[in-house]
Amino acid sequence: AFLLQQQWWHNATHEVPGVNPHHEEIVSFTARQILDVFSPSNLPFTNPEVIARTLETGGTNLLAGMRNWSEDVLRMATGQPPVGTEDFTVGKDVAVTPGKVVYRNHLIELIQYAPATRTVLAEPILIVPAWIMKYYILDLSPQNSLIRHLVAQGHTVFCISWRNPQAEDRDLTLDDYRRMGVMAALEAIKAILPQRRVHAVGYCLGGTLLSIAAADMAHDDDDDRLASLTLLAAQTDFSEPGELALFIDHSQVNLLESMMWNRGYLSADQMAGAFQLLRSNDLIWSRMVHDYLMGERRPMIDLMAWNADSTRMPYRMHAEYLKRLYLDNELAAGRFMVEGRPAAIQNIRVPMFVVGTERDHVAPWRSVFKIHYLSNTALTFVLTSGGHNAGIVSEPGRPHRRYRIALREAGGRCRSADTWAETAEARPGSWWEAWTEWLAAHSAARRVAAPGMGAPAKGYVPLAEAPGTYVLQR
């Protein structure tokens, strides 16, 4: 009966005369959320596992579930993190790769990681994470830290750690993030390691910002600071951004602007709530059944603890990002202006390594793939198993991992995403290994002595131990 009801609502909310596709998707999404409330698996009297557990324990599972629910409500009301996150302290249990903060401004701390080898590849790596998340998604526990993996492979790694904005940061713009973030970090690296080209890496929103910065840098023929560009689950064309677009149209952005105006920022819980709705079965209902109906606490893992450590978004920057990129798609159209010049992706000439993930609800891989249509440079595209976070944090040795990979030569023909998926080489294992091979192939053949930390003679004195102070801001 429930499946028939689902099918009825699906038919009722699709191909409705006079309703545009965006509003049709909103109605369909809302209907799915309502139906989930009445799903037999989410109700105590129709879920066979819950019934069996209740009979087995004499109902103590429901009492334990009530205690779990009360504890969660209290923690939410008092602004405390979820149960179990205390086992993942930043700088002690996660984000523990050794390094120093070698530069700090109002918006970023730049971390330089200590070398793990006597010699290193000449070209350093700069990682630009999204400011919607804290950077240590790429430096979780030692066994699944991408940063630690790169250091172990002989790379000199720098990573931006973004400040968690307050109300007084309301007028920070998207260009401020470019100037005070990407460009300031590149200037610092140039001073610390002069005459070294940089492998620039951007994750999620950080990848979009890095693309804008790289496109602007490409206007200057003598600006050769970049050796390559790697984009991890990052969109440059927002014409089909997936289900996140359900929350983004002109009326909703105007409403969001008025809400942000009062505070000066978009709160972390508002952003987290939107992402939870996109994956309500995984992030809401499965937890409710396990923690409240079965009465068992789901073990906290490092990725879940990081996910609970969310950040705020400044009013002006976030409104600009939604309007200029999501709604108007200025970057893909070549209309995104930086200091009076269009930031055109097709101007980028350095080789690219672009990663999409199969189950990405934030940056769908077909949307990420569209960079093929915007660029002419050599582009290696990888489609890996997993989602927006777990697909990127995909360390070697993890079971059931796989990916597909293919190179489009500079000036080569573009193919559709589906054709690419059918013809790309399928490989088992972690895409990290393919990427480190690619980085080595695009680096100088001769390795150099591992550098010191910072450049005190040039004003880049180590300021603090990694992970720094900005990552600790709540």
Three-state DSSP string of 154-170: CCCEEEEEECCCCHHHC
The token pair at 263 is 């505070």
Q: Fill in the amino acid letter for 67.
A: R
Radius of gyration of the chain (CA): 23
| Element at 404 (helix H, strand E) | strand 402-408
Q: Give the model confidence (pLDDT) of 264-294 as tens digits.
A: 998 877 777 766 766 677 768 888 999 999 9
Q: Give the model confidence (pLDDT) of 109-146 as tens digits.
A: 999 999 999 999 999 999 999 998 899 999 999 999 99
Could you tell me if residue 43 is inside a domain?
no
Q: How many Cα neighbours within 13 Å face the side chain of 245?
A: 19
Residue 474: predicted pLDDT: 87
CATH code at 460?
Answer: 3.40.50.1820
- For residues 204 and 234, give the distance between their C-alpha atoms in angstroms, rounded to a whole number: 4
The token pair at 244 is 């996140």
- For residues 66 and 59, give the distance between their C-alpha atoms in angstroms, rounded to a whole number: 11
The token pair at 196 is 């070294």
Could you tell me if residue 270 is inside a domain?
no
Q: Give the model confidence (pLDDT) of 226-254 as tens digits.
A: 999 999 999 999 998 887 777 788 888 88
Q: Give the model confidence (pLDDT) of 306-344 as tens digits.
A: 998 989 999 999 999 999 999 999 999 999 999 999 999
The answer on pLDDT for 148 being more than 90 is yes
Q: How many Cα neighbours within 13 Å face the side chain of 227?
A: 19
Could you tell me if residue 18 is inside a domain?
no
What global pTM score does this model have? 0.92
Q: Give the model confidence (pLDDT) of 409-437 as tens digits.
A: 999 998 999 999 999 999 999 999 999 99
Could you tell me if residue 255 is inside a domain?
no
Could you tell me if residue 448 is inside a domain?
yes
Could you tell me if residue 12 is inside a domain?
no
DSSP-based three-state secondary structure for 33: helix
Could you tell me if residue 283 is inside a domain?
no
- Residue 1 banded pLDDT, cuts 50, 70, 90: low
Could you tell me if residue 322 is inside a domain?
yes
Please count the residues of the chain. 474
The token pair at 211 is 């693309």
Domains contained in the chain, number: 1
Total Cβ atoms within 10 A of residue 67: 12
Domain that holds residue 317: 99-243+313-472
Among 336, 443, 426, CA closest to 384: 426
Catalytic annotation, residues: 204
**What are the distances in angstroms from CA 249 to CA 141, 281, 437?**
38, 25, 41
